[in-house]
Amino acid sequence: MDFTAEQIAMWLNGELIGNPNAIVNTLSKIEEGEKGSLSFLSNPAYNHYIYDTEASVVIVNNNFVPEKEVKTTLIKVEDAYSSFAMILTKYDEARKSMKQGISPLAFVSESASVGKDVYIGEFVFVGMDAVIGDGARLYPQSYVGDEAKIGTDTILLPGSKVLHSCIVGDECTLHEGAIIGSDGFGFAPQQNDDFRKIPQIGNVILEDRVDIGANTTVDRATMGSTIIRRGVKLDNQIQIAHNVEIGENTVMAAQCGISGSTKIGKNCMFGGRVAIAGHLEIADGVKLAGTAAVASSIKVPNSVEMGAPSFNHKSFLQSYVYFRRLPKLVERITNLEKALKEK
């Protein structure tokens, strides 16, 4: 679809500088801009591209002042990055919303409840007594188990699975290969050094606007529920164990692992490959640097930790200064010991 610069400026409540009738029908990075594309500039390191870009319209921050003539049309907004993200969202929604209807190659149980304007693609399975909300989109080879519930406008991308009795809220996205409701890792040691499987009879609850990355797994609870609160964003290849609870708007980068029954607060931010032991409590607003390993509860809100085992990031950086000097310190001690022996 074609849009004018003026239309986009109105959507973003931005200030238009240049040709209001400039037409765009695609999106691009500023360094790869071409005629008919919409781009953005938020990082000053990329400022030089704006003078040569072929993009027809570029979204910039209000404080951007060009050093020389700019031939493209500008739309000034408070936050160019956020505004472009909004455009990307609308573009993605428009692209995906084109698909509607139930493929004849899908299996939908007769007892399932399917809402309005739903898309169910080829080789999708929808089990007995499952509920699919209005506007939900189930892409090919996704799976919804018996008695599972999928909320309004939620998207299951190819190969994602919501297993029996699990609940997914409104406006959630499950990326390729995500599994909601796999068995928790529960085994009881026996006297003969064997292990007996503990049945996992709980479920998983995802509240609204949760995003689950590709090949991420969220295990069902042993009893009760594993709960992912509203607005949580999980990257690819993350493991969330049974009976974990993650607070609102917490975000985790790839390959994090959260052990069973740990409770994580809201607005936390975890870097890649963070590991948290089981049965711990992590306060609101905690930030963990990549590869941090948390072995005890963090009870002070807005703490920042790093290292393995993790501790206060300022103390860690101070300690690291000495760690880097260890070879020289060892050499000095060795020389001193040698000198003492020679006396």
Catalytic amino acids?
Answer: 242
Q: What amino acid is encoded at 182 in this protein?
A: S
CA distance 181 to 225: 10
CA distance 163 to 154: 15
CA distance 319 to 301: 23
* DSSP for 21-72, written as a single string: T-EE-EE--GGG--TTEEEEE--GGGGGGGGT---SEEEEETT---SS---S
- Residue in the block written with tokens 């590991």: 275
CA dihedral 302→304→310→311, nearest 10 degrees, is -90
Q: What amino acid is encoded at 251 in this protein?
A: V
